[in-house]
């Protein structure tokens, strides 16, 4: 038996992150009570160095670990974004966690392990790695949602998240096992090859595919598998909501592309119909139900569902342009929701969650700059022209018009008009209503700087969307 030395250098970012996660765990275990600050600094350092490692290895590509790990332009871009977004997420969360007694080393250990899970998912070339990465990511997130033990609503949210997440994993695994049964392969590239060669049992293949799509739908939070999403977003501490609403969506998007496009791209006509249903329902239910919400976190949860509908539009188009468009949408969405949930944290203080829409009354007279940032984020989510949300919506809708799904495009446009209502309502509340309280914002400086950077990034990307669009396009051509 010959032993081939593996090319492990391709997986350097993951290995570094794992080593650092274990180091942070040890530091937390031995420093005891005062370890949180240290863990925070080390986590930020880990994310930054990992981002640098990924950036430096741009351009290298290959498959290693016997076809279980893949490094390509797609994974590089997404992993870099995940690291950068998580740096911002951890920066936003510190003051919130401190105020609520959640500023503990374990939080950061779990956050880093979860990020590792996301990176494994993005770089997976094998059904097993996708599943294990997903479990690693989700397991950390279940624990993070449950960390606020004294809050009844957090515990309930964690319970719902855990049970539905386990159910979704079960569906996904069942689909994978059926596809393994019919193709005889677990490696995504080999599965694609076997399907391309034809002579497969199409009934069984579509049967497995249905379960895969259900699992993906659950993880993305697409209607009708969205029930957990508003409750979890609402119930989790806002810092954790911020964490689960941003980077994991990028990882889930990567999982969708790996499974449906890379693996089952040749049976695109089978999954296109399913995705059209998920996408149209998500856009309709997400946008319509969001109108009725008085809680900002719940409203943003329904808005997430509608954004997922838009992301699916690009994927279902089955064209390179469509995949690039939905990747652009996923990246932009995570930046926008980073800002929106960041604002909720910025507004909150000890004993005050700032998650009701009424809490934003008259924000413009209290602090005009942050009201302006919120205005930019809300306009961008609504898809109003000079901002980046507009280009995201434009490119995905263009990709389905190109394949002559005009009726779906009409639904998408109508729903984004309906969606504009509830985003504009926040702006109306901030600018035209009388403030209820005059309390100063208590956020620390780094957070104020971060939210400004975040808002201005959305504006800058809106004015110059070309470079990010080009990056997304270059990944798929």
Partner 1 sequence: MAIEQIIFYCFAGVLLFAASMVITVRNPVRAALFLILAFFTSAGIWLLLEAEFLAMTLVLVYVGAVMVLFLFVVMMLDIDLAPLQEGFAKYLPLGILVAALITIEMIAVLGASHFGLDLVAAPIPHAADYSNTKEIGLLLYTVYVYPFEIASVILTVAIVAAITLTLREKKSKSQNISEQVKVRREDRVRMVKMDAVKPEINEHQESKS
Binding interface with partner 1 (CB under 8 A): 3, 6, 11, 18, 22, 25, 32-33, 65-66, 68-69, 104, 106, 109-110, 113, 116, 120, 126, 128-129, 132-133, 135-136, 139-140, 142-143, 146-147, 149, 181, 201, 203-204, 207
Helices 105-122 and 247-256 cross at an angle (nearest 10°) of: 20
Determine the Cα–Cα distance for residues 154 and 167; give it in Å rounded to an integer.
20
Helices 406-432 and 296-316 cross at an angle (nearest 10°) of: 160
Determine the Cα–Cα distance for residues 98 and 96; give it in Å rounded to an integer.
6
Nearer to partner 1, 98 or 104 (CB): 104
Determine the Cα–Cα distance for residues 219 and 169; give it in Å rounded to an integer.
9
At closest approach, how far in Å is the CB of 178 from partner 1? Answer: 8
Nearer to partner 1, 6 or 414 (CB): 6
Nearer to partner 1, 28 or 311 (CB): 28
* Neighbour-count burial for 49-76, b at 16+ CB within 10 Å, e otherwise: ebbebbeeeeeeeebbbebbbbbebbbb
Q: H/E/C letters for each residue in 330-345?
A: HHHHHHHHHHHHHHHH
Determine the Cα–Cα distance for residues 352 and 341; give it in Å rounded to an integer.
15
Locate the DSSP E strands across 334-419.
none
At closest approach, how far in Å is the CB of 181 from partner 1? Answer: 7
At closest approach, how far in Å is the CB of 201 from partner 1? Answer: 6
Q: Phi, psi (5° rounding) for residue 69?
A: -125, 130
At closest approach, how far in Å is the CB of 32 from partner 1? Answer: 5
Nearer to partner 1, 204 or 453 (CB): 204
Nearer to partner 1, 15 or 453 (CB): 15
Q: C-alpha distances in angstroms, 59 versus 56, 66, 72, 170?
A: 9, 21, 8, 36
Q: How many CA atoms lie within 13 A of 142 on its CB side?
A: 14
Q: Determine the straight-line distance between the first and last CA of the chain, rounded to whole angstroms.
A: 39
At closest approach, how far in Å is the CB of 325 from partner 1? Answer: 31
Angle, vertex CA 157, rays to CA 151 and CA 160, nearest 5:
145
Nearer to partner 1, 109 or 327 (CB): 109
**Which residues 6+ apart lie within 8 Å of 468 measured at CB?**
328, 331, 332, 461
Pairing between β-strand 69-71 and β-strand 62-64 as defined by DSSP bridges: antiparallel
At closest approach, how far in Å is the CB of 104 from partner 1? Answer: 8
At closest approach, how far in Å is the CB of 144 from partner 1? Answer: 9
Nearer to partner 1, 186 or 308 (CB): 186
Determine the Cα–Cα distance for residues 425 and 441; give it in Å rounded to an integer.
22
Nearer to partner 1, 65 or 476 (CB): 65
Nearer to partner 1, 62 or 368 (CB): 62
At closest approach, how far in Å is the CB of 336 from partner 1? Answer: 29
At closest approach, how far in Å is the CB of 377 from partner 1? Answer: 32
At closest approach, how far in Å is the CB of 22 from partner 1? Answer: 8
Residue 10 is classified by DSSP as G
Nearer to partner 1, 134 or 378 (CB): 134
Determine the Cα–Cα distance for residues 408 and 413; give it in Å rounded to an integer.
9
């Amino acid at each position: 038996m010959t032993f081939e030395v593996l090319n492990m250098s391709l997986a350097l970012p993951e290995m570094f992150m794992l080593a650092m996660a274990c180091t942070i765990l040890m530091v937390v275990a031995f420093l005891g009570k005062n370890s949180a600050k240290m863990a925070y600094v080390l986590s930020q350092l880990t994310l930054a160095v990992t981002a640098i490692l990924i950036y430096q290895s741009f351009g290298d590509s290959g498959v290693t670990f016997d076809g279980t790990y893949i490094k390509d332009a797609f994974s590089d871009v997404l992993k870099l974004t995940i690291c950068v977004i998580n740096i911002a997420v951890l920066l936003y969360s510190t003051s919130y966690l401190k105020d609520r007694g959640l500023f503990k080393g374990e939080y950061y250990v779990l956050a880093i392990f979860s990020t590792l899970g996301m990176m494994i998912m993005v770089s997976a070339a094998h059904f097993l790695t996708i599943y294990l990465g997903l479990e690693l990511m989700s397991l950390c997130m279940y624990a993070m949602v449950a960390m606020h033990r004294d809050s009844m609503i957090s515990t309930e949210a964690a319970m719902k998240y855990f049970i539905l997440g386990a159910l979704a994993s079960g569906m996904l695994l069942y689909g994978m096992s059926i596809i393994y049964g019919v193709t005889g392969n677990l490696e995504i590239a080999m599965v694609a090859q076997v399907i391309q060669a034809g002579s497969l049992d199409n009934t069984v293949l579509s049967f497995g595919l249905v379960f895969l799509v259900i699992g993906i739908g659950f993880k993305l939070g697409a209607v009708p598998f969205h029930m957990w999403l508003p409750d979890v977003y609402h119930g989790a501490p806002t810092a954790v909501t911020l964490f689960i609403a941003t980077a994991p969506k990028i990882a889930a998007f990567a999982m969708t592309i790996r499974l449906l496009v890379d693996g089952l791209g040749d049976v695109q006509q089978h999954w296109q119909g399913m995705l059209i249903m998920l996408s149209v329902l998500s856009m309709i239910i997400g946008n319509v139900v969001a109108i009725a919400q008085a809680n900002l976190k719940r409203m943003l949860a329904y808005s997430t569902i509608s954004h997922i509908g838009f992301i699916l539009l690009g994927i279902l188009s089955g064209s390179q342009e469509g995949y690039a468009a939905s990747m652009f949408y996923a990246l932009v969405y995570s930046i926008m929701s980073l800002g929106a949930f960041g604002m909720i944290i910025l507004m909150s203080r000890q004993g005050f969650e700032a998650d009701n829409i009424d809490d934003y009354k008259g924000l413009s007279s209290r602090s005009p700059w942050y009201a302006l940032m919120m205005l930019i984020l809300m306009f961008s989510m609504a898809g109003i022209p000079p901002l980046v949300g507009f280009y995201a919506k434009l490119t995905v809708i263009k990709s389905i018009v190109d394949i002559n799904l005009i009726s779906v495009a009409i639904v998408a446009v109508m729903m984004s008009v309906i969606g504009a209502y509830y985003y504009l309502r926040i702006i109306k509340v901030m600018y035209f209503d009388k403030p209820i309280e005059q309390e100063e914002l208590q956020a620390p400086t780094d957070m104020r700087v971060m939210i400004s950077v975040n808002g201005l990034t959305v504006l800058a990307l809106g004015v110059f969307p070309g470079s990010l669009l080009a990056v997304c396009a270059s990944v798929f051509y």
